[in-house]
Amino acid sequence: MIDPKSHRELLPHLFRQEYAKMTAVLCRHFGLVHIEIAEDIASDTFLKASEHWAVHGIPDNPTAWLYTVAGNKIKDYFKHRSVFENKIKNDIKPDEIEIGKDWEFNNEIIADSQLVMIFVVCNPANSVEAQISLALQILCGFSVEEIANAFLTNKETIKKRLQRARTNLRNDNFQIKHLTETDINARLDTVLKTLYLLFNEGYFSKTNNQLIRKELCAEAVRLTLFLTENPLTNTPQVNALLALMCFQSSRLDARTGIDGEAILFDQQDKSIWDKSLIDRGNYYLINACNAGEISKYHLEAGIAYWHTTPTDNNKWEHILQLYNRLILIEHSPVIALNRAFVFSKVYGNEKAIKEVECLNLSESNYYHALLGYLYSNTDNNASIEHYIKAINLTKSGIAKKTLKKQIDSLLKIEKNNP
């Protein structure tokens, strides 16, 4: 008897894992100009799988079955749709489509196609937000609704953003067939920045109901790991970024409580840090340092490494030194505030307060949250005042809940010590 649940459990996993790969391989046949056709065929393939597997059960090799069906759909497309002859054929270049060649989906073609698509999606002509949105949709198989949730915006905004970005993608002359060293050198910085920001969207989620989006972190790690598996893209910066992601991911479970509230670093249960991810982070950080190159990813990976080393008495001094170097490379309010937190660990809260106030970031909820933390040991009223300002400036329900918890703790202390 066929288990009706088995295919419904497997298909979502396969969709997330194979949809992007299949789209990438299909784009080798259709070219970027007609990426929507490739996506339609990939979607139809999974629809057919849901219908066929419900009746006949899961095939012995589900992935091969999917690619075989996709290949058949390509043949059907060219055989039965007159729109190809009438409206498309004359508009595409001879090298943009491989009609005469047999459909292939071996591991090498799939890997090459997926690698190219990563560089295709990270198009400098698009905004950073558009690149991340495209990465989530094309490389990770996210729906418009899921992307809207990740950016804390409505679906119509995301649809318009994706439409504009796809237009730029179709107008791009980037070749989908082969990735050259020139292509890599031209876009690798953009690719790494997109993956870095994709990870951060998960690590510091801006949604109302989640502090962390683990699926976003996992997708960023998967795509970065993919870059390390190709000799052309296995660079020191790529390894440094992957090390950073591993170190940060090792603490994901410790960063939130039972109700989803944030747990500050000092209060995290270090026993639930993922040791295997820390070890992997160490491995990639060693690989990153072989060439003597130092990038922002190296420095941030080093900072994350020291955060996962709780036994070293001088770790905060090491972290502060790295932040001092990082802020010279990339000065931003977030880096400045993070550095101020570490400064407090080395020189005390009183000196750190002066450092923070000099930043003059009064419109930032993180600014007031940090001051609330720094004042908590010396001036409860000032601490509560800053926590309230932080609450008023944040849109995240979980962040508000976490800040209110800090206020409640301070009020409890006042009550017990009148």
Please state whether the predicted TM-score (pTM) of the whole model is above 0.75. Answer: yes
User: What ranges do the domains of the chain cover?
Assistant: 1-94+101-105, 318-418
Q: CATH number for the 318-418 domain, one of 3.30.470.10, 2.60.40.10, 1.25.40.10, 3.40.50.300?
A: 1.25.40.10
Residue owning tokens 């949105």: 133
Which uninterrupted H or E stretch holds 384? helix 380-393
Rounded to whole angstroms, the Cα distance separating 339 from 323 reads: 6
Cα-flanking dihedrals φ and ψ of residue 257, to 5°?
-90, -170
Say if residues 26 and 110 touch (Cβ distance below 8 Å): no
Residues paired with 256 in a beta bridge: 262
Burial of 289 (0-12, 13-18, 19+ CB in 10 A): middle
What does the chain come to in residues? Answer: 418
Amino acid at 133: S
Residues 265-294: pLDDT tens digits?
Answer: 878 888 899 999 999 999 999 999 987 789
Number of alpha carbons in the 13 Å side-chain half-sphere of residue 2 = 11
CB neighbour list of residue 247: distance below 8 Å, 6 or more residues apart: 277, 278, 281, 301, 304, 305, 307, 308
Say if residues 297 and 289 touch (Cβ distance below 8 Å): no
What are the per-10-residue average pLDDT scores of the chain (418 residues)? 60 81 82 82 92 89 90 79 55 47 70 84 83 84 78 85 88 70 85 87 65 78 92 94 96 81 81 94 94 90 92 88 95 92 96 94 94 94 96 85 89 74
Say if residues 159 and 144 touch (Cβ distance below 8 Å): yes
pLDDT of residue 94: 44
Number of alpha carbons in the 13 Å side-chain half-sphere of residue 387 = 24
